Structure 1
């Protein structure tokens, strides 16, 4: 039996080798290695991204094969790109040469009508609607006051020691619920958030309820979230018939003229809650982490925001749009945090046909990965690229960042529609945080799989800088 088993293993390996060799002769594929049969190089990738330094996984392959290489990840042969021109080509040809691709667990939990999974004309309409709701004029006239107020409200409930990543997630969830449905924080929003946490925990599990308890809980939580949102949508439809409208995303959907079903709107809002909850909160946490590790940058940031507060009559006087526009060094902090953190490290796509690029042919049905992280941390494009240096973004600095080099929000038809809103939220958060608190951080480190986060949720000890002044 042992000899028979050995023969079968050798036979399977031989077939795989012949198949791969034939494929390489048929197509002029980028150089690279497929790794082990079936699993490819997935385990090496996961191991690297679970550490605080995943760069060697990419560096070793780029040094050996060049900026575009072949590998095998998550069950599929994959062309991995660290080349900015190729990345931009992939993004700009969404829906033409490349199709979006996500794990089954994420697709099932978000729903078929989520913005992440929409395609064609429906995606274009919904993406445009989302961007129109989160543009500068809407933020200035309708959202800024709520952003500032809800951040201050959360700070008022903090103790002397907080897990910053958890608190940041509460802030971003409450902000997103407010912007989507006009709900202020309360028992309903907190119940919804707790169910939402269970949904997100199921994103990177096997989409098999019988094998994964986490996925089963996520499916149940998803049902509860969808039911809660459906009740809100139905009530708002009744209100709109009676002429009652609200200036929020749900109001825009109901007034758009498109006959969206309840299911479509619920899936759409559920996906936007994901976007607000995970990405912005992580950026808020990492901005504080990087500033804590760079006292000179923190001192300059405090100086900028103390000057803004000095022009106010009291500590809690709301920020105005002119205050936000005056935060020049803050925008340098935001840019550098986005570049270093790489919350979205890249995107997977699937080829819709054989594609010729950079002298190579990528077969139809292959997976491609456009790595933003590899470009952002490449010293060919940013001097001392792996060092946090916000001054590189000041005017007359050495940075030149063409559109295909600096891409923290992606690009093309799937450019993050909330990119401007995320920048404003982070800026207001930093303003309130550095003017209200001084702090020290407990030891913690970054990991990047399955999502970018700190291992201990970044515990910090807080001390109030200012006491409220009477008007």
Structure 2
């Protein structure tokens, strides 16, 4: 017993000395104020616990109130500076590649692949980012993509039954759209098999990247291999067609035919690039579609106004006539709904970056190699920037495209700087077309109570089951 007490005393004294030395080091480094929490674990458990509820804001709210809008914490195994300050967030985004570089958990990096756009740096990232934006700009959407977006969404909605899990149904839509846009593939057995593997890959994003300790990560790694094999086969076939002079005007065709520093991209590079683009086009857009419907269901006046806007568009068309670009441009309230859904739901709650040198911000110094987290969510839900910030109110965007009297620094649902989401306009079009066909064809009620959670990704707990009735 005496030996146990002795060792316990040593352990406690060591812990106190450790915490005191760490506190002294923080003051000496002029770090933003904060609390690194427990040794090794930090405040990770508090963060995860908050984000598994409908109201994760207190994790940042309480610390920002105590320490200021830029504060120090310790999460996911590393000391991290959190920013809930729009000016600091903009500084972080604009200095990508200069003072900061992208940094994501090992699980995400491993599953996306080393050649994914998310992990690229320098000139190659600039070129690939530019290429991606060139395939998702308004001109391309208008002239090439809109007809397939309209056709595939209608095809999916035609198959809907009386009751669906909306989040599952929208994921099927957005995955089919992404496969079509990237590889010119129509929906079928191949794309559905690929989608089922993608579900497993994404489940592994926020797990411990050690197969021995995580069954979810093991499944994700296995699914990633199967995805890579399927895409590798596709790339190989398309490369053979390209060398025979057969060309397709899609993203895969551009990757195969581009002039690169190393003559041409390898199949592995193309597969990694496609894996990440499919994730980006599939997961986030479907979640926005689902949550827009959830928020509209809870806001009957907004739903009624949205139906009125789209009924007016449909009255000018024959029953089978598809949407045109002019129809998309005549959906002002729809854009208000999308803006507000993006602001309230915060599908991308923020971004992690790593300092490449000592960085001075707001009179503080963040040491080289530290992580920073620019929180978009904290800014979007701050009452100082948006009136009644935590209430879904699409009308706030009616007379001001930012929904606030402040600058665009306060609204960053697609990030910013060199890593601005290249598919933001395409996502808006897909959501708009989906809402058009949904509200003109169906009325619905929730099948059961469901709630939002934000970890590991933003979603509804029960995938938002709804009972549908076709409108006459």
TM-score category (smaller protein):
over 0.9
Q: How many residues align?
A: 465
Deviations along 1:50-106, whole A, 9 cap, x unmatched?
A: 000111111111111111111111111111100000000001111111111111111
Per-residue deviation, 1:199 = 1.0
* Structure 1 residue runs without a partner (length 5+): 467-471
Match of residue 452, structure 1, among 452, 458, 462: 458
**CA RMSD, aligned part only?**
1.2
Q: Partner residue of 2:251?
A: 249
Q: Partner residue of 1:75?
A: 77
Match of 1:247, SS state, is coil
Match of 1:450, SS state, is coil
1:300 maps to 2:298 = no
Per-residue deviation, 1:284 = 0.3
Per-residue deviation, 1:396 = 5.5
Per-residue deviation, 1:177 = 0.4
Per-residue deviation, 1:403 = 2.5
Rounded to whole Å, the distance in 2 between the matches of 1:285 and 1:74 is: 29
Deviations along 1:302-341, whole A, 9 cap, x unmatched?
A: 0000000000011x31100000000011000010010001
Label 1:401 to 1:438 Cα distance change in 2 as closer, same or farther (>3 A). Answer: farther
Rounded to whole Å, the distance in 2 between the matches of 1:451 and 1:266 is: 24
Rounded to whole Å, the distance in 2 between the matches of 1:372 and 1:177 is: 29
1:331 maps to 2:335 = yes
1:63-102 to 2 correspondence within 5 Å?
63-102=65-104
Per-residue deviation, 1:217 = 1.4
Match of 2:15, SS state, is helix
Match of 2:409, SS state, is coil
Label 1:87 to 1:267 Cα distance change in 2 as closer, same or farther (>3 A). Answer: same
Rounded to whole Å, the distance in 2 between the matches of 1:257 and 1:221 is: 31
Label 1:141 to 1:401 Cα distance change in 2 as closer, same or farther (>3 A). Answer: farther
Rounded to whole Å, the distance in 2 between the matches of 1:262 and 1:298 is: 46
Rounded to whole Å, the distance in 1 between the matches of 2:250 and 2:14 is: 58
1:181 maps to 2:183 = yes
Q: Partner residue of 1:13?
A: 15
1:281 maps to 2:286 = yes
Rounded to whole Å, the distance in 1 between the matches of 2:147 and 2:303 is: 25
Label 1:240 to 1:199 Cα distance change in 2 as closer, same or farther (>3 A). Answer: same
Q: Partner residue of 1:227?
A: 229
Per-residue deviation, 1:401 = 4.7
Q: Partner residue of 1:44?
A: 46
Q: Which moved more, 1:241-250 or 1:302-311?
A: 241-250
Rounded to whole Å, the distance in 1 between the matches of 2:257 and 2:364 is: 48
Rounded to whole Å, the distance in 1 between the matches of 2:425 and 2:203 is: 27
Rounded to whole Å, the distance in 1 between the matches of 2:273 and 2:84 is: 31
Match of 2:129, SS state, is helix
Rounded to whole Å, the distance in 2 between the matches of 1:209 and 1:77 is: 25
Q: Partner residue of 1:373?
A: 377
Q: Partner residue of 2:277?
A: 272
Per-residue deviation, 1:142 = 0.6
Which stretches of structure 1, 4 residues or more, deviate above 6 A after TM superposition?
Answer: none
Rounded to whole Å, the distance in 1 between the matches of 2:265 and 2:5 is: 62
Q: What TM-score does the superposition give when structure 1 sets the normalisation length?
A: 0.97
Match of residue 128, structure 2, among 126, 132, 137: 126
Q: What TM-score does the superposition give when structure 2 sets the normalisation length?
A: 0.97
